[in-house]
Amino acid sequence: MLFRRWVFLCLFLLAAGMYVVGVAKVGSTTWGDSIYYYAYTRSLVMDRDIHFANESVEPSLPFPNPPTINAQTQLVSNNFSPGTGVLWIPAFVVGQTLVLTLAVFGLPVLTNGYSLFTQTVVGVSTVGFGTLGTYFFIRGLRLLFPQKIVTQTTVSFLLTTQLLYYLALDPLNSHTASFLFASVSFYLWVSIWQKRSITWRQAIMLGASLGTLALIRNQDVLTGSILIGSLLVRISQKAHAVQRVSVILLVAIAIGSIQLATNWVLFRTWQSPYLLHGQTLSWLAPDFLRVLFSPGNGLFRYAPIAGLSLVGLFAFVKTQKSLAICCTLVFFAQLYVIASWGPEIVGGPYGSRMFVGTLPFLGVGLAYLVTAIKQPWWLISTNILFFWNLYQIGAMLIRW
C-alpha cells in the first residue's frame, strides 16, 4: 500500500509540475468553458450568490461570449452546470487565503479572486481530481482482474487517451472532475456487483457520487440510471435491494436537484439552459460517424484504444455477461446523447472530451484484452498509440 501511495504521489507531482510549467510559460490557465465554471466558484465565495454581472465583464477574465440578460430574472445567463464550480471552492479558498496573506505583506497581487496564483491553485487541485480518479479506477478494476493486468491497463489509458491532456496540460475544466466521480461510481458499483449485496454506507456513497457526477455533466444521469437499475436485478436479497437502491436514488436526486435550483434562480425554468438558448438534440438523426471518426472530434480517431476497449467489452460478455453489458450500455447511452447533440458541443480542445466519464467502464474491456495478448504486443501497441496521442496534442497546440 505504501508503494502505491508513492506511485500516486509521483503521478500527481509529475502532472502538477507539467501543468505549472505550462501556466508559467503561457501566462494564463483559465479559458473557454472553464471561465464559466470559474465564475460560479468566484461568485459563490466572493459575492455569495450566482449573479454574474461582474464576473461576465471582468477585464482579466470576461465571458468568451457577450453576456446575455435573462428577461425574467434580469440576471446574466450562465448555461454551464454548477457542479464543477462548486467542487473548485475549497482550492479557491486556499488560493485566496494565500493571496490575501501576500497582500498583507505588501506584495502587488490581485485580491478579487482573479489572480493567476489563485487560478493556478485551483488548477493544481483539479490535477488531484484526475489522480484520485485514477486511484479509484484502479481499485475498481482490481476487483475484476489481477494486479499486473490492472497496472498495464491503467498505463495504457493514461498514455493513450484524453486523460494525458486533461490531467497534465489542461486540467482546469470539468473533465477531471467528471473522471473522478465516474471512477468512484465505477468502483462502488463493481464492489456491490461482485458481492451481490449492499450496505447503507455504500448506498449513500454511491448516491452521492452519482448525484455529483450528474451535477458536473447532466448527461451522466444516464450512467446513474443504468448502474442503479442493474443493482436492483443483481443484489441477491430483493428487500435490501429495493430499500438501499431507493437510498441511492434519493441521495443522487438530492444532490442533482442543485442543477434544478440553479436553473430556477437564473432562468425561472426547470428546462435545460442549453435547450433554452437554442441548442438542439436530434434524437432521430444522431451523427455517429462524426462523433467517432471525424478529424475534428472523433473519439476513435483521437483515442483508437477506446474502440479496442469496446471490442474487449464485447468479448468479455463470454466471461461476465451482465457486467459487460452494463458497461457497454453506459458507453452507448453516452454515444447516443453526444451524437444527437449539436456539432459545436462535441469537439472541444482535445478529442471527444464528453466521453471522459465512460473511460472507467471502457477500461473493463481493455483489461480483458490485455489478459489475452502477450506483453511484447501490449508494449508495442501502447507505445504506438502513445506517440499518436502526442502527435494529436502537438497538432492541436500548433493550430492554437
For residue 350, give every residue at least 6 positions away whose Cβ sits within 8 Å of its Cβ, in sequence order, or none.
162, 165, 166, 170, 302, 392, 393, 396
What's the pLDDT at 336? 94
CA distances from 230 to 184, 197, 235, 236, 254 (A): 17, 12, 9, 12, 21
124 contacts 88 by C-beta, under 8 angstroms: no
Q: How confident is the model at residue 354 (pLDDT cuts 50, 70, 90)?
A: confident
Of 166, 186, 191, 163, residue with least CA distance to 303: 163
Average pLDDT over residues 294-299: 80
What's the pLDDT at 278? 61
Q: How confident is the model at residue 318 (pLDDT cuts 50, 70, 90)?
A: very high
**CA of residue 137 relative to chain centroid, distance:** 13
pLDDT at 340 over 80: yes
pLDDT at 3 over 70: no
Q: How far apart are CA 378 and CA 371, in angstroms?
A: 10
- What the block records as the C-alpha cell of 184 is 468512484
Q: How confident is the model at residue 71 (pLDDT cuts 50, 70, 90)?
A: very high
Tens of pLDDT, residues 28-66: 999 999 999 999 999 999 999 999 999 999 999 999 999
Concatenate the DSSP letters of all residues of 167-195 into one string.
HHT--SSHHHHHHHHHHHHHHHHHHHHHH
Tens of pLDDT, residues 183-240: 999 999 999 999 999 999 999 999 999 999 999 999 999 999 999 999 999 999 888 8
- What the block records as the C-alpha cell of 382 is 501502447
pLDDT at 1 over 90: no
What's the pLDDT at 242? 94
Average pLDDT over residues 349-367: 88
3-state SS of the chain? CHHHHHHHHHHHHHHHHHHHHHHHHHCCCCCCHHHHHHHHHHHHHHHCCCCCCCHHHCCCCCCCCCCCECCCCCCECCCCCCHHHHHCHHHHHHHHHHHHHHHHCCCCCCCCCCCHHHHHHHHHHHHHHHHHHHHHHHHHHHCCCCHHHHHHHHHHHHHHCCHHHHHHCCCCCHHHHHHHHHHHHHHHHHHHHHHCCCCHHHHHHHHHHHHHHHHHCHHHHHHHHHHHHHHHHHCCCHHHHHHHHHHHHHHHHHHHHHHHHHHHHHHCCCCCHHHHCCCCECCCCCCHHHHHHCCCCCHHHHCHHHHHHHHHHHHHCCCCHHHHHHHHHHHHHHHHHHHHECHHHHCCCCCCHHHHHHHHHHHHHHHHHHHHCCHHHHHHHHHHHHHHHHHHHHHHHHHC
Please give the mean pLDDT across all residues of the chain.
Answer: 93
What's the pLDDT at 2? 45
- What the block records as the C-alpha cell of 47 is 459575492
What's the pLDDT at 245? 96
Q: How confident is the model at residue 277 (pLDDT cuts 50, 70, 90)?
A: low
φ/ψ (deg, to 5) at 301: -75, -45
Q: How large is the greatest C-alpha to C-alpha distance in the chain, in angstroms? A: 67
Q: How far apart are CA 285 and CA 297, in angstroms?
A: 18
Of 207, 206, 203, 166, residue with least CA distance to 32: 166
Tens of pLDDT, residues 132-150: 999 999 999 999 999 999 9
- What the block records as the C-alpha cell of 308 is 479496442
- What the block records as the C-alpha cell of 13 is 507531482
76 contacts 102 by C-beta, under 8 angstroms: no
Concatenate the DSSP letters of all residues of 50-68 into one string.
---TTGGG-TTS--SS---
Domains of the chain by residue range: 149-268+287-393
Share of the chain above pLDDT 70, in %: 95
378 contacts 156 by C-beta, under 8 angstroms: yes
Q: If you count them, how many residues does the chain have?
A: 400
